[in-house]
Chains A and B, each alone.
Chain A
Amino acid sequence: MKRNMSGLLAGAALSALMATSATAEDLVIFWAEWDPANFLQELVNEYEEETGISVTVETTPWADFQTKAFTEFNARGSAYDMIVGDSQWLGAASEGGHYVDLTEFFKENNLGEVMAPATVKYYAEYPGNSGKYWAIPAEGDAVGWSYRKDWFEDPAEMEAFKAKYGYDLAPPKTWAELTDIAEFFHRPDEDRYGIAIYTDNSYDAMVMGVENAIFSYGADLGNFETYEVDGYVNSDKAVAALENYKKLYSYTPPGWAKTFFVENNQAITEGLVAMSMNYFAFFPALLNEATNPHAANTGFFANPAGPDGDQFAALGGQGISVVKYSENQDMAMDFLEWFIKDETQKRWAELGGYTASAAVLESDEFRQATPYNEAFYQTMFKVKDFWAVPEFAELLTSANQRLYPFIVGDEGTAKETLDALAADWEATFKKYGRGQ
Chain B
Amino acid sequence: MPTNNMTRLDPNSQAASRGLSDLSIRNLFIIPTIAFLIIFNIFPLLYSLGYSFTDFRASTNAPAKFVGLQNYRDLLNDPFIWKNFSITAKYVLISVTGQVVVGFGLAMLLNRAIPAKGLITTLLLLPMMLSMAVVGLFWKLLYDPNFGIINYFLGLGKFEWLADPDMALWAIAIVDIWMWSPFVMLLSLAGLSAVPKHLYEAAEIDRAGNIYTFFRITLPLVAPILMIAIIFRTMEAFKTFDLAYVLSSQPTTELIAIRLYKMAFQEWQTGMSSAFAYIVLIMVVAITNIYVKYLNKVKAR
Binding site for B on A (CB under 8 A): 66-67, 70-71, 73-74, 92, 95-97, 188, 200-203, 253-258, 270, 272, 390-391, 393-394, 397, 400-401, 404-405, 408-409
Residue of A with least CB distance to B61: A97
Also in contact, A67 and B162, with CB within 8 A (given A258-B249, A409-B251)? no
How far apart are the CA atoms of A257 and B144 in the complex, in Å? 11
A71, B261: Cα distance in complex, Å: 13
Q: Is B269 an interface residue (CB 8 A)?
A: yes
Which residue of B58, B60, B146, B269 is within 8 Å of A253 (Cβ)? B146
Pair A201/B251 contact, Cβ less than 8 Å? yes
- Which residue of the partner chain B has the closest CB to A253? B146
Given A96-B59, A253-B146, A394-B267, is A401 in contact with B160 using a C-beta cutoff of 8 Å?
no
Question: How many inter-chain residue pairs (CB < 8 Å) link A and B?
Answer: 81
Q: How far is the CA of A67 from the CA of B250 in the complex (A)?
A: 21
Residue positions of B touching A, CB distance < 8 A: 57-62, 80, 144-146, 158, 160, 162-165, 248-252, 262, 265-269
Contact call B251/A405, Cβ cutoff below 8 A: yes
Question: Does the CB pair A409–B267 fall under 8 Å?
Answer: no
Contacts of A202 in B (CB 8 A): 249
Residue in contact with A74 in the complex, picked from B58, B144, B252, B267, CB distance below 8 Å: B58
B160's nearest neighbour on chain A, judged by CB, is A255
Once bound together, how far apart are the Cα atoms of A70 and B268, in whole Å?
9
Task: Please give me the 6 A-B residue pairs with the lowest Cβ-Cβ distance, nearest first.
Answer: A257-B163, A255-B145, A393-B267, A254-B158, A254-B145, A96-B60
Contact B146 A66 (CB under 8 A): no
Please judge, given known A-B contacts A253-B146, A401-B80, A408-B165, whether A95 and B60 are in contact too, CB under 8 Å: yes
Task: Assess A203 versus B267: contact at CB under 8 Å? Given A96-B59, A408-B163.
Answer: no
Partner of B60, one of A66, A67, A92, A270: A92
Cα–Cα distance between A61 and B240 once the two chains are bound (Å): 22
Give the complex CA separation of A97 and B63 in angstroms: 13
Shortest C-beta distance, A272 to chain B (Å), equals 8
- Which of B146, B160, B266, B268 gathers most chain A CB within 10 Å? B268
The answer to whether B144 touches A200, judged by C-beta atoms less than 8 angstroms apart, is no
Note all chain A residues with C-beta closer than 8 A to B251.
201, 400-401, 404-405, 409
Beyond A257-B164, A258-B163, A405-B165, 6 extra complex contacts between A and B, CB < 8 Å:
A70-B268, A92-B268, A95-B62, A97-B60, A272-B146, A404-B251
Complex Cα distance A188/B145, Å?
A: 12
| Interchain CB contact under 8 A, B266 and A203 | yes
Question: In the complex where A200-B249, A257-B160 touch, is A66 in contact with B145 (Cβ < 8 A)?
Answer: no
**Closest Cβ of chain A: how far from B142's Cβ, in Å?**
12
Contacts of A203 in B (CB 8 A): 266
Determine the chain B residues whose CB is within 8 A of the CB of A96 once the complex forms. 59-61
Q: Which of B61, B165, B249, B269 has the most CB of A within 10 A?
A: B249
Q: Tell me how far the C-beta of B72 lies from the nearest C-beta in chain A, rounded to whole angstroms.
A: 15
